[in-house]
Every structure is written in C-alpha cells, then in structure tokens.
Amino acid sequence: MGAPKTVLLTVAVLGLAGAAAGALVVYGGLYNVAATVQHTQPVYSLLETAMHQSVKMRARNIETPPLDDERMVMRGAACFRDKCVQCHGAPGVAQGDIGKSMQPLPGPLVDARHHWKPRELYWLTKHGIKMSGMPAWEYRLSEEELWSVVAFLARLPDLTPQQYAEATRVEPTGVQGASTGSACGAVPDGAPVRMGDADRGKRALHQYACSACHTIPGVTSSSPHVGPPLAGIGGRTLIAGKLANTPDNMVRWLRHTRKVDPLTAMPELGVTEQDARDIAAYLATLR
C-alpha cells in the first residue's frame, strides 16, 4: 500500500473514531448539562473564543454613531437598569439570582469597553448569544435604545456606586428614565409602521417564543404539542375559528388575542404593531 493510501486510511479511521466518540458523548448522556456544574475549561475556552470571533466578524461593517450625547447616555442607563443589571450587576449592585445561577456566568460589564468595540457591543445587545442566556434585544429595544445602551457601557467603568445609583434612579412619579420621560423599551403611540417583512417576521416568531408552543415551518423548535402546528396556516379560511384569514385580522389576533377570544389559552405576548405585521407576512407564506 502506497503512502498516500496509508494517510487516507489513517485519516478515515481517525474520523470514524472521532464520530463514534462524539456519538457516545451525545447519545450516552456523558456530558453533564446541569447549570450547577461548570463547563470544563477547554469547553469554556473554546466557546468563548468562537463567540468573540463570531461577533467581531459580523459587526465589522457596522457604522457607529456619536455616543457622547448626555441624554443618550441617560437613556442607556435606564435600559441597563431595566434589562441588564439583573444578570450582569453594576457598580455596587450584585447580580440577581438568575444571573448568579447561569452557566456560563454572565460577567460584569464594567470592563466591556476594554474587550469590545462599540459596534460589537451593539451587535451583542441586538442579537444576543445562542446557548448562553444572553437574549436578543432587537424586538424589545429600538435602534436608538440599543445604541444608548452602548453609550452607557462606555461610561460605566468610570462610575462609582453612588454615581450609578444617581444615573439609574426612578423618579418619585414612577416614570423610569427621567431624561427620556418613558420606560425603556416602550413603543410610542403613533410609531410609523411599514409593510410586513416576511423574513423579519420569521425571526420574530421565535423572539416572541411562538415556537415554544407551536411547530412552525422554517423555525427551529423541539416539536412542541401545546398549540396547533402552523403549517398551512396561510391557506386556512379562519384564524382561531373566528376571524377571516387576512393580514389585518392576523395582526388583530396577535396583538389583542383576549379581545378576539376571551377563553383562549393563547397569551397576549405584547407584540408590537410592526412585529405583528411582519409575523403576519411570514405566516401568509405557509400554505
């Protein structure tokens, strides 16, 4: 047997051995997925390196707007208080129980500007990180709010606990984010709405956790059986057995579910007008 054939045979044997070992780990349940046990250091380092490189590549062409406006920083402080501190903590503020109990542990963000460029922090905040507990905020925060969080993260390392408490205080009137006059993530009435975008609607279906209850073509899930599968929903005559299947009625069903059917088990998910139109556009393609 010639040298090339020997090399190919060796590579094939090693490949089969690796596949067999991987199958044993997966189907034999050998890797402990409990959050009470840390990842091994090699696994942790591998995942962290892959995450860093993935973010850097995908954020490389994002243009960063000016981030030094004080109102922008204060809006970011309100968003950080409402959306981030429970997992990441803050100067003088410990993580909540959820953050403390995660694996991998969501670390503090007081040094984030030393590890990430602003455009990378924006990408991380908007898109989140799979299998880490870091959520995607694209469907919860506006573009302005996403960049405001980045602006605040640039300021965070310089804040004392007292300065952080002052920047994130809640006004006695109950209005959060004093400099903005509204709570972080609130969608103002009368916000402009464009035509439905089916691609964005497909993403919105899992961001609103629709795939937790429904099997949806094109959306990854564990094949739940809580709600009916949505295959073919675009060709059905009625929505929920009550409304003619039109885009406007689908938006109505998604946003005001209880008004359409007070007895339904489907919860109202706080879907915005724009997100509902995007979801309706995607569901209309499922025939």
pLDDT at residue number 189: 61
pLDDT at residue number 281: 97
Q: Are 233 and 283 contacting, i.e. CB atoms less than 8 angstroms apart?
A: yes
Walking along the chain (287 residues) 10 residues at a time, the average pLDDT comes out as: 74 86 87 87 91 96 95 94 94 92 89 94 96 92 96 95 91 45 64 90 94 94 91 95 95 96 93 96 96
Position 93, amino acid: V
pLDDT at residue number 91: 94
Helices (H), the chain: 3-27, 41-59, 70-79, 85-88, 97-100, 112-115, 118-127, 143-155, 161-167, 198-207, 247-255, 257-260, 273-283
DSSP annotation of 142: -
- pLDDT tens, residue by residue, 197-215: 999 999 999 999 999 999 9
Q: What is the pTM of this model?
A: 0.83
pLDDT at residue number 229: 95
